[in-house]
Amino acid sequence: MKNILFTLGRRRSKFFHFTDALNILHWLNAFRLIASNSSVYDKKFTSDFSSLIGSGESLSFASGRMAFFYVLRSLNLSSQDEVLLQLPNCSVMFNAVLRAGAKPVGYDVDLNCLGSDLSNIEKLVTDNTKVIVVQHTLGIPCEIGKINDYCRRKKIILIEDCALSVSTTYENRVLGNFGDYSIFSFDTTKPINTVVGGILYSRLRANIKEIRQNYDNLPELSRSFRFYILFNAFMQYYFSRTIPFVSNLAYIVNVKVLSYIGNSFIYPFLYNDNDSKVTLENLPYPYPAKYSECFAYLGLLSLSDWDNTVDRRIVNMNRLLKIIKELGIGEVPGQYFSNNKIVPLRLVVILQSDSKWIGFFDKLYDRNSMWFISPLACNEAYIDFNISSELIPNCIYMNERVINIPVDEDKEVDKLIMSLMNFYD
């Protein structure tokens, strides 16, 4: 019987350590910084994050997709120039290509690493291919060495999508240091969670210097939108730890309050630009926008505990890998057992289609929260982006069931392991 890819539900990562999340002073400081016109925390966070990745330089943005758009725009691409992106992906990445005036082309995923491989890319490269974007999915490194060599020979710009891969290494080199540019994301589902945010990094400092000419003139998200986002996060994260039922009212209260004072925001995140029909002119926030002090402050708290976070996630990954093997639950990508240091946020398990574990996971996690039900997350109408199902069989195959096992919190992993053992017995 064929294998079906399983990954466990979409979970939000923590901004920072549990005790910090309950420290009201941290939240008050973040709210105070909404009105700040300085960039002290932003510069500090950007510098510290760059040092975490390597010796390169970075620019910070309100989201990873904006960082991606910013570098594409600097390349002065034409409507005939092609940008290759892996599927599955998020529609906001394809939209960024369209908004930069270029043509997005989707290539198929590699089932061995769940990311990019050279064979799937080579099939679609033409004389018009100017940029190739590779994915390191869920912290698993892709065939970045081979792809990097290929791009250099072909003189194609290589961008690493490291949205879910921070501190993972490939051949003793931290991911993000292979391509001409790398993009990182800090939203609520990413390894470092500052609610919103992203960074454009390059190991070649000259690359950043060359494109930062107009960066200082970029706008920020409006103060009202910053408040909207941060207030919702505060209700979700602080009160969910103290008075859970209150946090359930956060979204409703937030929308009502912001609507009353005249704001047109639909979501307390940057989800409005997921549709191909939404243009830069009718977005309710500037695009691209710079990072803001209130979110950079949360980022610095995350980085201050990063070593412990990395250790915790690796330990929990290995605990789950052990129990998966002992109980014969299914297969996992071989990269987990390579010499590369993998720092996961979630762990992938591959089950047989007739496995008894399918029912177990279906009952444990809500299908509506799973990633990549469609080749494009956030927009199931992937046909709008000229994506043909026939050209992405691996993507369609793995999207039959996509769930991922969060490894961030010890207590959640403890409960899952106990449930797995009880179900096995």
Mean pLDDT, residues 28-40 taken together: 93
How many domains does the structure of the chain reveal?
A: 3
Residue 299 lies in a domain: no
Establish how many alpha carbons lie within 13 A of residue 311's alpha carbon, considering only the half-sphere containing its beta carbon. 4
The pTM of the whole model exceeds 0.85:
yes
CA angle 109, 336, 168 (to 5 degrees): 80
Yes or no: say if 181 and 153 are a contact pair by the CB < 8 Å rule: no
Write the CATH number for 321: 3.90.1150
Strands (E), 186-290: 198-202
Of 196, 425, 395, the closest CA to residue 326 belongs to 425
Cis-peptide, bond into residue 88, ω within 30° of zero = yes
pLDDT higher at 179 or 385: 179
Residue written as tokens 């052990």?
322
Dist. CA 419–CA 332, nearest whole Å: 19
**Do both 268 and 383 map to the same domain?**
no
Which tens digit of pLDDT belongs to each residue from 188-211?
889 999 999 999 999 999 999 999
Matching residue, tokens 């992405």: 392
Q: Which residues contact 18 (CB under 8 A, 6 or more apart)?
A: 241
Provide CB contacts within 8 A for 393, sequence distance 6+.
108
Question: Is the distance from CB of 52 to CB of 338 less than 8 angstroms?
Answer: no
pLDDT at residue 227 in the model: 87
Q: Looking at the structure, tell me whether residues 148 and 189 fall in a common domain.
A: yes
The residue among 166, 180, 82 whose CA lies nearest residue 131 is 82
3-state secondary structure of 15: coil
Looking at the structure, tell me whether residues 246 and 350 fall in a common domain. no
Q: Are residues 189 and 231 located together in one domain of the fold?
A: no
- What pLDDT score does 377 carry? 73
**DSSP string of 275-297, one letter each residue:** STT--GGG-SS-SS-B--HHHHH
The residue behind tokens 């209150």 is 246
What percent of the chain lies above the pLDDT cut of 70?
81
d(CA 34, CA 224): 9
**Same domain flag for 269 and 365:** no
89-90 and 3-7 strand pairing: unpaired
3-class DSSP state of 313: helix
| Core vs surface per residue 381-415: b (16+ CB within 10 A) or e | ebeebebeeebbebbbebbebbbbbbbbbeeebee
Assess whether pLDDT exceeds 80 at residue 19.
Answer: no
- Indicate the helix (H) or strand (E) that contains 309: helix 306-327
Q: Is residue 200 part of a domain?
A: yes
> Same structural domain for residues 256 and 404?
no
336 and 388 both lie in a single domain: yes
400 and 318 belong to one structural domain? yes
Average pLDDT over residues 264-280: 66
Amino acid at position 214, single letter: N
- Across-strand partners of 169? 174
Q: Which of 52-66, 87-101, 302-316, 391-405 has the lowest mean pLDDT?
A: 391-405
- Of 310, 348, 316, 315, the C-alpha closest to 416 is 316
**296 is a domain residue:** no
- Classify residue 181 as exposed, middle or buried by CB count within 10 Å of its CB (0-12, 13-18, 19+): buried
Q: Is the pLDDT of residue 66 over 70?
A: yes
Q: With bands split at pLDDT 50, 70 and 90, how would you rate the model's confidence at 351?
A: confident
pLDDT exceeds cutoff 70 at 369: no
Mean pLDDT rounded to a whole number for the chain: 85
- How many of the other CB atoms lie within 10 Å of CB of 284? 16
Q: Are residues 249 and 349 in the same domain?
A: no
Q: Is the N-terminal amide bond of 288 cis, ω within 30° of 0?
A: yes
CATH number at residue 123: 3.40.640.10
pLDDT band of 143, cuts 50, 70, 90: very high
Residue whose structure tokens are 């809500």: 366
Domain limits for position 8: 3-13+305-424
pLDDT at 213: 85
291: pLDDT strictly greater than 90 = yes
- When pLDDT is averaged across residues 36-63 and rounded to a whole number, the result is 96
Amino acid in position 150:
Y
146 lies in the same domain as 212: yes
